[in-house]
Amino acid sequence: MKTTYTFLICFLFIYNTNSQEQYLTKNGVIKFFSSTPIEDIKAENNQVLSIIDTSTKKMAISILIKSFLFEKALMQEHFNENYLESDKFPKATFKGDILNFNKIGGLETKCDVKGIITIHGVSKEIVIPSIFTRIGNTIFVKGEFGLFLEDFSIKIPRLVVKKIAKEIKVTFELNHKPYKK
Amino acid sequence: MNKKKIITIILGIGIISLFIAYQIYNKPHVNVLDVKSDIIITADKIIDDFSSDETKANRSYLDKIIKVSGTISELKLEKQKGIITLKTNHDFGSVLCHLSDQATQKINLLKVGQTIILKGICTGFLMDVILIKSEIVNKKNLNT
């Protein structure tokens, strides 16, 4: 009986250290830019949730569309009500595998993250080139990629079509820390 | 004479509509402090609502200015912006309130464990219920 308990306690310890393999941030930053000769538009989201599981080498990101803040209130309103329809689709998500995860160390390491991105209810496969840095107990990830509005069936009215770029530039900065309950 | 009148009227309408269009284009963001909050709720109740039925909770809380009361479990500054975490009776979830620039300056006056009322715009639920542009509510302006 005693040995069973010892075994169980040992197992719990191992299990606990294993749970340290999850890294998380609740205030990652995602920004996007649309640049046309007529107008530059940018928005920022500071409430990005991102989780990295180092044992499965997977990464999951979840963001709220309404958390994007624009310089102009009217743009933010159009973005939410007409383009992204955030009442119907309040979240955008990404789930993927970190390729070459084992290479990541203290120096900036280029790693692709391959997975599925879902925006405006439309899912698409994507490879996001990212830069990983693992210092102490933090995993910092940053990168930049482009998204085409038409891939996510986001329709822009003809009247403003010249003001909004077809390809939107997205940048992200996610500083993951070990997850504690 | 008549032609002149018509031209002046058309020009007048043109100028007015341009002015209105400019006003609409530049309309300001909602000032959370000035607007009366739609909903007053405790941190426990709002997370209960979101975790039991997220779609329904989205319908009632998204984009609304909400006053949440609760106990501070964490205070932090991230890129000069204050974030207050309110404790809930759930294991994982809490209410994360991202403070406005103004409220961030007052974060040093707060302590973990203190009960507080925050007023912000609810943008939804990830692991936590998220409020942005949050302001600290004093007892004085409790009724606004």
Per-residue pLDDT tens for B66-110? 999 999 999 999 888 999 999 998 888 899 999 999 899 988 889
User: Which ipTM was obtained for this model?
Assistant: 0.83
pLDDT for B2:
84
**Is the CB of residue A154 less than 8 Å from the CB of residue A121?**
no
Specify the 3-state DSSP secondary structure of B44: helix
Chain A residues within an 8 Å CB radius of B130: 47, 64, 67
The partner residue sitting opposite B28, judged by closest CB among A62, A66, A73, is A73
Q: Indicate the residue type of B141.
A: N
| Residue B53 pLDDT level (bands cut at 50, 70, 90) | very high
Give the pLDDT confidence score for residue A104 in this predicted structure: 84
Distance CA B62, CA B83 (A): 19
What mean pLDDT do residues B119-132 have?
93
Which one of B28, B29, B98 has the shortest CB-CB distance to A47?
B98
Contact assignment for B132 to A67 by CB distance below 8 Å: yes
pLDDT of residue A98: 94
Per-residue pLDDT band for B47 (boundaries 50, 70, 90) equals very high
B144 pLDDT band, cuts 50/70/90, is: very low
Most distant CA pair in chain B, distance:
79
**In this predicted structure, what is the pLDDT of residue B139?**
55
> pLDDT value at position B33?
85
Burial class (CB in 10 A: 0-12, 13-18, 19+), A135: exposed
- Position with higher pLDDT, B143 vs B28: B28
Mean per-residue pLDDT over chain B, rounded? 89
Closest C-alpha to A47, from B10, B64, B95: B95
Residue with tokens 């809490």: B94
Domains and CATH numbers, chain B: 39-136 (2.40.50.140)
d(Cα B135, Cα B67) in Å, to the nearest integer?
A: 9
* Domain boundaries along the sequence of chain A: 21-178
Which chain A residue has the Cα nearest residue B97? Answer: A47
Residues 92-121 of B with CB under 8 A from A: 92, 96, 98, 121
Chain B: closest CA distance from residue A146 (Å):
24
Residues of chain A with pLDDT under 70: 1-20, 181
Select the residue of B124, B127, B128 nearest A90 (Cβ to Cβ): B124
How far is Cα A157 from Cα A170, in angstroms, rounded to an integer?
22
Dihedral sign from CA coordinates of B137, B104, A169, B21: positive
Quick: pLDDT tens for A100-114: 888 887 788 999 999
Higher pLDDT, A110 or B138: A110
Is the Cβ of A85 closer than 8 Å to some Cβ of chain B?
no
- Residues of chain A in contact with residue B123, where contact means CB-CB under 8 angstroms, are 47, 64, 66-67
Class of domain A21-178: mainly beta
Helices (H), B26-115: 43-52, 54-61, 101-104
Calculate the alpha carbon distances from A96 to A123, A125, B13, B66 in Å: 12, 9, 55, 34
Q: What share of chain A has pLDDT > 70, as a percent?
A: 88
